[in-house]
């Protein structure tokens, strides 16, 4: 079942909340950590932000919080 089609989004990963009402559209690697938070029931974008060079995202088990991080193992850091 298709709920909605969103075109021209700079994302390459989708992260559903454990309860299913919310989704984060994430753009990692070439998209520099673009994050879009959507309420699927109302089909509205709640927030858009960026976590530069973000490599991972995880919901907490309650679906209330999201954690993002940038891994030094994935990004080569020159000093």
Write out pLDDT tens, residues 18-74. Answer: 999 999 999 988 788 899 999 999 999 999 999 888 889 999 999 999 999 987 666
pLDDT given at position 75? 55
Within a domain: 2? no
Within a domain: 6? no
Return the bridge partners of 35, or none.
26, 49
pLDDT given at position 77? 56
By residue range, what is the domain housing residue 38? 13-69
Within a domain: 33? yes
Please give the residue that has the higher pLDDT: either 1 or 61.
Answer: 61
Within a domain: 56? yes
Contact 25, 33 (CB under 8 A): no
Within a domain: 40? yes
What is the pTM for the complete model shown?
A: 0.82
Specify the number of domains making up the chain: 1
Return the bridge partners of 58, or none.
67
pLDDT given at position 52? 86
pLDDT given at position 72? 67
Within a domain: 60? yes
């Amino acid at each position: 079942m298709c709920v909605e089609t969103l075109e021209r989004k700079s994302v390459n990963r989708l992260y559903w909340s454990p309860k299913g009402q919310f989704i984060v559209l994430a753009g990692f690697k070439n998209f520099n950590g673009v994050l879009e938070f959507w309420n699927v029931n109302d089909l509205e974008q709640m927030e858009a932000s960026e976590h530069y060079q973000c490599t991972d995202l995880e919901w907490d088990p309650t679906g209330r919080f999201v954690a993002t991080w940038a891994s030094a193992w994935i990004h080569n850091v020159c000093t």
